[in-house]
Amino acid sequence: MNKLVLIDGNSIAFRAFYALPLLTNQSGTYTNAAYGFTMMLMKVLEEEKPTHMLVAFDIGKTTFRHKEYKEYKGKRDKTPGELSEQLPLIRDLLDAFGIQHYGLEGYEADDIIGTLACQADGEEVPVTIVSGDKDLLQLVTERVSVLMTRKGVTDTQRYDIQAISDRYGLKPKQIIDLKGLMGDSSDNIPGIPGVGEKTALKLLHQFGSVEGVLAHVDELPGKKLKERVAEHAEQARMSKVLATISCEVPLDFSLDDLKFEDFDPVNVVPLFKRLEFKTLLKRIQKDETPAIETVEAKKLTFATVNRENTKEWEGIFERAHLALYAEMTVPNYHRAEVPGIALSGEGIHLYIPLETALEWKAFKKWLADSAKQKTAYDVKGTHVALKRQGLESEGFTFDVLLASYLINPSESEHELSDIVGRKLDDSLPSDETVYGKGAKRRQLEGEELARHLTRKTEALFRLQPVLEKELQEAELASLFYDLELPVAKILAEMEWVGVKVDKEGLRKLEKELTAKLEELTTKIYGLAGTEFNINSPKQLAEILFDKLGLPVLKKTKTGYSTSADVLEKLAPRHEIVEEILHYRQVGKLISTYVEGLLKERFEEDGKIHTRFNQAITATGRLSSTDPNLQNIPIRLEEGRRIRKVFVPSEKNWWILSADYSQIELRVLAHLSGDESLIEAFKSNMDIHTKTAMDVFGVQKEDVTSQMRRHAKAVNFGIVYGISDYGLSQSLNISRKEAGEFIQRYFESYPGVKQYMDEIVRKARKDGYVTTMLRRRRYLPDIHSSNYNRRSFAERTAMNTPIQGTAADIIKKAMVEMSRALHKENLSARLLLQVHDELIFEAPEEELGILSDRVRRVMEEAIQLDVPLKVDVDSGRTWYEAK
DNA sequence: AGGGTCACG
DNA sequence: ACGTACGTGACCCTC
């Protein structure tokens, strides 16, 4: 049975555009209208199952209606550029779906739809019209219905004869009369002034049509109305003509030409990927997965290597380049089992169960051979996990995870299946799909595991050239090969070595802090006059604001804020507040640091083995998890004591820490070329004092500690992409004062101001910003019409080159330091990196040379127009090393 | 699972 | 009139 669907293209595109926020893909193309349109399209295909389809568009400016009334559509606002540039995109999408689209000079989409609806009706083919325009209701018949958008994009209501009657009490054709009387401001159709929908409907219910109303002017209720109708009779007749949809557009095609057979995902997927329609992509790929999977599974022939047949497969190790994947049972590779390993080369896919791998000499030789090139996903994790199984691995020359990260560090999904979905015209089931999650998680074995793993290595093998090319094109190849890959190997070693912690020291701290917490708890209950959960912001707010009547200074989404900055302001008003602040402090130390560290400590070696995530931050920094060793307390003495439990792992060894002084401001001085700032660093001045002198116009001797504190906050603000509001918050001053500070700063350092303006301009032009080593971050929101999003992107444009360059520099220092340790034959080891600081452990006799080398390497890691300065200190624990 | 809070650079 | 300082991760509570 045939079914024709006619879509009012402009109407749906408009609706989608205004219903959705102004989305863009990474390359800055606006996609919201195209996205909404596609959602609607897919819904219609699913629900209507059309055999014939057409999307009609308005093209050109004038239609036959303008002859009748030259003001037609006269008052309509211009289509925004962000929408009109998406119309070609929508046509591309329709082409990909294999759906006809059409526009005709001199006619509106309505008329094309009307003509085809009439034809189809004549041929007894049922028709669904999709639009947001009520005009089209006039086309409804026994066989023609209209799907009208309601709110959002895909929420629709079907209008047939009955529905129109229910809603308006009219027959479909009377919709024309309705508009003749009430007009339509969006099309600039006048109708009768003062007659809206209510009056118009009342009149039509009584007299049936515009002509009927005009013939009975005398019988109309109310003097005013009579006058108006009489006066505008001609205008009403004309309005009716304008509102009438033509069914006689000369079309050079017939219904048969509009045949639609189900779309082919092969054509649609690449376009969805380009436009980053992730949800829709998943939807069509889900529908398609079974088909693709069987094809893939058939195509991919793999072999399982076992003790008996190893000889048959050893030829594979002759190959110059293979992909390797070591499967793990849990994400923490320090604790994971490796059930098996897969290898892929052109036309060959092997699965090696762990037991076989451990005994297979040729495999182990190949694995440890640095001349044998290997592509992996996460070489750091792979290396560590294998090492835990007693397998040495070398020669990782490509990391799919790191490549994907460098290509777009803002992307949050770098799981292999996501990368395959983005970069290949293919799909791979995610680990969650294969293994399940939570309680439903299961382990695979045998054939199933082998298939899943070889699919992964096969994908890795194909991904490598694709990613390699993208790296080249974005000028990221050197960053990848010369910096990130070497850093991955260094981090693997750091994680493998781990940091020794003093368990007894932690236990003592735990006892002491717990006693303190109990004391505070009792005191707080006493002051509150009741017991409650101090850890619950909700219960705490009740006590503070309801029971004790303290003023509410700030709200959160869900209630009253009890954050530290609020409590500090409330402290003078009630004794309890200070105790709560202290309680929070101690509570944090116990749960996150004392208990947290004890939980992560490995019994075997008494060490903590964190994992540095090298593919997470948008700026190029590292992060650290399980536990996070980059946020161990230092600012307050009570917390700083935690550092006493971080000790050297060998007798008579020391902890040595080397940190960059003011690296971000020095980078800013270099990037901006500001003479005054450069001079300040060249003469080794205290930069915050210098800023205070300039901003407050005083001599060095007259800088008060308050001035220096304010200047320091301004400097932070500059690095973060300053705003007066942000600065006012951090200093607890008025926005006006903050604004004045900023203005005076920019007057003192005009080069910085110029640089900030320039970097934002560049971000707008290119769509991204870069660091000194060409690390790239895209900023699609730089074009957003939303003030907040745009402002955020602008601040990011200012901050990322600074933070990111500092990250580049310390990574470079790590690579060179690792070479230096090797060359000097030192047994000192790098343990941790904390953004601008490197922490080592070393035997006492190496402290002199190590301190010397570290300072040199770090200070000379990159040549800037200002010197880099490094402070080095050592001690028996991390606490004492600084 | 998400929000609030807080630890670091 | 709006509502932000940049970059992270872990814990607790609440639903």
Give the closest residue to C3 (Cα–C1′). Answer: A788
What's the whole-number mean pLDDT along residues A264-280? 83
Is pLDDT above 60 for A173?
Answer: yes
Q: Is residue A806 part of a domain?
A: no
Q: What is the pLDDT of residue A628?
A: 92
Claim to verify: residue A461 and residue A533 sit in the same structural domain: no
Give the closest residue to B6 (Cα–C1′). Answer: A588
| Strand C bases within 7 angstroms of protein beta carbons | 1-15
Q: What is the pLDDT of residue A299?
A: 61
**What is d(CA A655, CA A88) in angstroms, rounded to the nearest whole number?**
63
Q: Is residue A853 part of a domain?
A: no
Report the candidate in A718, A642, A711, A638 with the shortest Cα–Cα distance to residue A674.
A718
Q: Is residue A265 part of a domain?
A: yes
> From the CA of A536, how many Å to the C1' of B3?
12
Q: Is residue A320 part of a domain?
A: yes
Work out the pLDDT band at A275, boundaries 50, 70, 90. confident
Q: Phi and psi for A576 in degrees, rounded to 5?
A: -60, -30
Q: What is the pLDDT of residue A75?
A: 62
Least trusted range by pLDDT, from A32-41, A273-282, A287-296, A551-560: A287-296
Q: What is the pLDDT of residue A796?
A: 93
Q: What is the pLDDT of residue A287?
A: 59
List of residues 6+ apart from A741 with CB closer than 8 A: A695, A710, A714, A727
Q: What is the pLDDT of residue A77?
A: 62
Q: What is the pLDDT of residue A294?
A: 39
Q: Name the most confidently modeled range: A42-46, A122-126, A185-189.
A: A122-126
> From the CA of A633, how many Å to the C1' of C10?
13
Least trusted range by pLDDT, from A544-558, A589-603, A648-662, A792-806: A544-558
- Of residues A1 and A651, more confidence is placed in A651
3-state DSSP call for residue A774? coil
Is pLDDT above 60 for A634?
Answer: yes
What's the whole-number mean pLDDT along residues A747-772? 94
Residue with tokens 């000369």: A250
Give the closest residue to C12 (Cα–C1′). Answer: A535
Claim to verify: residue A20 and residue A142 sit in the same structural domain: yes
CATH number of the CATH domain containing A207: 1.10.150.20
Claim to verify: residue A565 and residue A695 sit in the same structural domain: no
Spell out where A329-412 has E strands.
Answer: 340-345, 348-353, 373-376, 396-399
Q: What is the pLDDT of residue A290?
A: 42
What's the whole-number mean pLDDT along residues A181-203? 82
- DSSP designation for A184: B
What's the whole-number mean pLDDT along residues A839-851? 97
Give the closest residue to C10 (Cα–C1′). Answer: A592
> From the CA of A29, how many Å to the C1' of B2?
31
Q: Which nucleotide is nearest to A610 (CA to C1')?
A: C9
**Structural domains of chain A, count:** 5
Work out the pLDDT band at A292, boundaries 50, 70, 90. very low
Claim to verify: residue A106 and residue A218 sit in the same structural domain: no
The token pair that represents A876 in the structure block = 């028996």
What's the whole-number mean pLDDT along residues A720-730? 88
Q: Phi and psi for A828 in degrees, rounded to 5?
A: -55, 145
Is pLDDT above 80 for A187?
Answer: no
Report the candidate in A609, A595, A574 with the shortest Cα–Cα distance to residue A334.
A609
Q: Phi and psi for A297 in degrees, rounded to 5?
A: -60, -35
What's the whole-number mean pLDDT along residues A164-183? 86
Q: Is residue A312 part of a domain?
A: yes
| Strand B bases within 7 angstroms of protein beta carbons | 3-9
Q: Which nucleotide is nearest to A591 (CA to C1')?
A: C11
CATH number of the CATH domain containing A117: 3.40.50.1010
Q: What is the pLDDT of residue A479?
A: 97
**What is d(CA A363, CA A428) in angstroms, rounded to the nearest whole number?**
27
Work out the pLDDT band at A167, boundaries 50, 70, 90. confident
Q: Which nucleotide is nearest to A437 (CA to C1')?
A: B1
Q: Is residue A590 part of a domain?
A: yes
Report the candidate in A818, A813, A807 with the shortest Cα–Cα distance to residue A773.
A807
Claim to verify: residue A64 and residue A191 sit in the same structural domain: no
Q: Which nucleotide is nearest to A628 (CA to C1')?
A: C9
Q: Is residue A802 part of a domain?
A: no
Spell out where A58-174 has E strands.
Answer: 100-103, 127-131, 144-149, 156-159
3-state DSSP call for residue A248? coil
Residue that terminates a domain, selected from A697, A729, A748 = A748
Beta bridge partner(s), residue A153: none
> From the CA of A185, how many Å to the C1' of C1?
29
Claim to verify: residue A314 and residue A399 sit in the same structural domain: yes
> From the CA of A664, how many Å to the C1' of C7?
13
Q: In which domain, by residue range, is A258 found? A: 1-169+251-281
- Of residues A730 and A77, more confidence is placed in A730
Residue that terminates a domain, selected from A498, A522, A555 = A498
Claim to verify: residue A233 and residue A366 sit in the same structural domain: no
Work out the pLDDT band at A597, boundaries 50, 70, 90. very high
Report CA A502 to chain centroid distance, whole Å: 39
Q: Is residue A204 part of a domain?
A: yes
Give the closest residue to B9 (Cα–C1′). Answer: A835
Report CA A526 to chain centroid distance, whole Å: 47
**Residue A107 backbone class (left: φ over 0; alpha: ψ -120 to 50; beta: rest):** beta
pLDDT in tens, A655-674: 999 999 999 999 999 999 99
Q: Which nucleotide is nearest to A558 (CA to C1')?
A: B3
Claim to verify: residue A192 and residue A111 sit in the same structural domain: no
Residue type, A675: E
Q: What is the pLDDT of residue A286?
A: 62
Is pLDDT above 50 for A289?
Answer: no
Claim to verify: residue A54 and residue A123 sit in the same structural domain: yes
Least trusted range by pLDDT, from A67-76, A237-246, A471-480, A575-584: A67-76
Work out the pLDDT band at A106, boundaries 50, 70, 90. confident
Report the candidate in A26, A820, A98, A15 with the shortest Cα–Cα distance to residue A470.
A26
Q: Phi and psi for A602 in degrees, rounded to 5?
A: -85, 125
Claim to verify: residue A182 and residue A53 sit in the same structural domain: no
Return mean pLDDT, chain A: 90
Give the closest residue to B7 (Cα–C1′). Answer: A631
**What is d(CA A111, CA A651) in angstroms, rounded to the nearest whole number?**
89
- DSSP designation for A766: H
**What is d(CA A192, CA A660) in angstroms, rounded to the nearest whole number?**
76
Claim to verify: residue A272 and residue A214 sit in the same structural domain: no
pLDDT in tens, A495-533: 999 999 999 999 999 999 999 999 999 999 999 999 999
Report the candidate in A791, A837, A406 with the shortest Cα–Cα distance to residue A659.
A837
pLDDT in tens, A331-353: 999 999 999 999 999 999 999 99
Is pLDDT above 80 for A553?
Answer: yes
Work out the pLDDT band at A291, boundaries 50, 70, 90. very low
Query: Does the predicted TM-score (pTM) go above 0.85?
Result: no
> From the CA of A533, how many Å to the C1' of C14?
13
Rg of chain A, C-alpha, whole Å: 35
Claim to verify: residue A110 and residue A146 sit in the same structural domain: yes
Least trusted range by pLDDT, from A230-239, A485-494, A542-551, A657-666: A230-239
What's the whole-number mean pLDDT along residues A118-133? 90
